[in-house]
Amino acid sequence: MKVIIVGGVAGGATAAARIRRLDEKAEIKVFERSGYVSYANCGLPYYIGDVITDPEDLTLQTPESFFRRFRVDMKTRHEVIDINPSAKTLLVKNLENGNIFSENYDKLILAPGAKPAVPPIPGVNSGRIFTLRTVEDTFKIKDFVNSEKPKSAVIIGGGFIGVELAENLSALGIETTIVEGASQLLSPFDSDMAAFIHSEIRRNKINLLLGSSVEGFSETGGGIDVLLKGGKIHADMVALAIGVSPENSLAKKAGLKTGIRGSIIVNEKMETSVPNIYAVGDAVQVKNFVTGEDALISLAGPANKQARIAADNICKIKNSVYKGSLGSSVIKIFSLTAASTGINEKTAKAAGIDFDKVILSPMSHAGYYPGGKVMTMKVLFEKKTFRLLGAQIIGYEGVDKRIDVIATAIKAKMKATELKELDLSYAPPYSSAKDPVNMAGFMIDNIANGTLKQWFIPDLEKLPKTACTLLDTRTVKEFERGHIEGFKNIPVDELRERLSEIEPGKPVYVICQSGLRSYIASRILEGNGFTAYNFAGGFRFYDTVMNDKSLIESSFPCGMDK
């Protein structure tokens, strides 16, 4: 059996190694357009920022090392330019000498990945504008930084690559601005959770221009102007990080069926619509595990799994299928860690799912053990069934651990209420006896049995102020440092003795700093004949979200140069 793989990195290299482990006799060739067949794509921004200092650390395997271990013929700087499915042949161009030759196959795996989106706007071809997708892109940016010593940079796009690149350029002492067309960074997060990310980025002196669209570029004064709607920013360099699109030119030539944004349609065995051709990685359309809807999820983890499954099916391993992706992800943002899994509110609404949520602020480990840090958790679930839908966690320690537990729970199709039953490890330096994941489960269980009723930020404007009581249960000093207009302050520990100050017959909307004291207060109130609603997330959450909203609305007035 002869297997040809188009593209290396996560998908192609993984498939090649797996096929060899399953079939010692197969002839395996990989054609990779770039000069590197297997490299740490996710580590590229950190080389630019000098976190990774040796360029060889970016290269996971060389053609020589791959051949020694797996006897796979790796051909870098070779581009497959055409496919003839009926003849089962390829046309391949050697990019070093320009020679074109034909290659036959029994099985073909397409792992072409995705290409950076480059908008068709004036000035986009400037030598001061970069994209970051390959090792060559990384070296190009690094060489520019080392030779030109830029003092300022603009990142267009606030996705994972954009945020990581901004952090690393800023670490080099370059004044950095992120321009994002949406009203928030990092779309897997809801806007309220993104507020914590924005705060950390601003705290580290990166300028944020959200809701700003780029209309063009103009080289001027030894630098480049980024032309925005109603204004402009001058910088020494620009990086485009506005997303990627599936690399589908070969798929189109071969007549493969395509889907979202031209992605390659595959079945659960990673087979395309054409016999003997498989596809994996960023170029393929997959199923969202939670909604069951078609999706594009460009992450290394899914690409590796898909490659293994394609290899299994080529080698006739039974029951090897891809069941969809949760899109689990994590990112370092200076001192902060932000992670998500499953779907967010926007996706749930688009899918027509009737959902609810809990927001909590647990400590990363036992409060009595030194060094604990608060994290913010948001867990979504379906109202009637309590099906677990997704989670977002932002904090400083233990975030990745908790998001992985919830991702596992979603994959296992656990109910959100069952999070309370998970038997998770505990020692004071690492967790609490009631782990944050358990705490989320307790809260959801309280909603299920009626002991917790919630209200949220959007409800504030709708509350009938004259027909309800607004109650802040923090201490007097906390209340004086900042509170929501119209709220009456009764500390929770004084509430039982001061119930006469609360008008009977009216619902009570309660808030505290994190949501815990206000929950205790709501139980006191309910036990004394009142109807009480607890604010999800607490004043800390409210204050962060509202401050962020104010800063977004006031940033970069139209018509002003920066």
- Catalytic residue IDs: 42
Nearest in space to 4 (alpha carbons), one of 74, 96, 87? 74
Which two three-digit tokens encode residue 254?
Answer: 């071969």
Q: Which amino acid, 117? A: A
Cβ-contact 235, 271 below 8 angstroms: no
Cβ-contact 27, 105 below 8 angstroms: no
Cβ-contact 469, 486 below 8 angstroms: no
Sheet holding 223-228, edge to edge: 214-220, 223-228, 231-235
Q: How far apart are CA 156 and CA 172, in angstroms?
A: 19
Cβ-contact 191, 184 below 8 angstroms: yes
Q: How far apart are CA 194 and CA 389, in angstroms?
A: 19
Neighbours of 127 (CB within 10 A): 10
Which two three-digit tokens encode residue 495?
Answer: 């509430």
Which residues have CB under 8 Å from 501's CB, separation 6+? 488, 490
**Phi, psi of 185, rounded to the nearest 5 degrees:** -90, 160
Which two three-digit tokens encode residue 271?
Answer: 């087979």
What region does 119 belong to: left with phi over 0, alpha with psi -120 to 50, or beta?
A: beta
* Count of H-run helices and E-run strands, the chain: 14, 33
Which two three-digit tokens encode residue 392?
Answer: 């977002």
CA distances from 459 to 140, 150, 464, 465, 466 (A): 50, 47, 10, 11, 15
HEC per residue, 27-65 = EEEEEECCCCCEECHHHHHHHHCCCCCCHHHHEEECHHH
